Amino acid sequence: MVTFGTLVWQSLVFALIALVLAWTAGGAAGVRRALAVIEDVLAGLFLVAGLLVVFVSVVMRYVFNNPPGWADEFARIFVAWGAMFGFSVALREGRHITVDLLFSALPPRGKRVLALLASLIGVAFTSFIAVAGGHYVAFLRKIGLRSIYTDLPEWLLQLIIPLGFGVFALQFARNFLDLWTGRTQVHEEVTGV
């Protein structure tokens, strides 16, 4: 059993590693582009795979009256994996939903401080979930739980929790360092959307 204190310390270490990785890859435009392409491709592939499984399931159910038992589970897993990578893509592009009531009332320096604070909180939170998810996956692997429908190891299906939140933490760290070093400016509120 992992204590809360252990999770917090491991999360801090994870967050620091994410910041160091973001710092070392920050100036390398090729590395940034390669990671962006990988995120985009993975998000797209998993979402398309999830939609294809749903399509096959609907056709099998309503045309052939023989719905596959595995389809719902695979659709759920594929969409979850695609969404997790998609969250990182949205964060990279500054397209996450934000509440800008306080933000829009601040002067430019206050907006920068608030954006830096939000990125740091994002690094801390996503690092915590990544570490806790890693312990959860290790626990599932230890007990040998398997999926009812597909007989796949459950830890393999839940691996997106530490992986997805780890990528998310890395993106928050990149955003923080880009703001800190002045590589990017604070995003203003989006209008007309």
pTM of this prediction? Answer: 0.84
- 68 has a pLDDT exceeding 70: yes
Is pLDDT of 164 > 50?
yes
- Interior angle at CA 137, CA 82 and CA 67, nearest 5: 50
Highest mean pLDDT pick, 66-70, 94-98, 128-132, 171-175: 128-132
Do residues 136 and 158 touch, judged by C-beta distance below 8 A?
yes
- Model confidence at 115, pLDDT cuts 50, 70, 90, reads confident
* Contact by Cβ (8 Å): 130, 166: yes
**Per-residue pLDDT reduced to its tens digit, 38-50:** 889 999 999 999 9
- The whole-number pLDDT of residue 193 equals 47
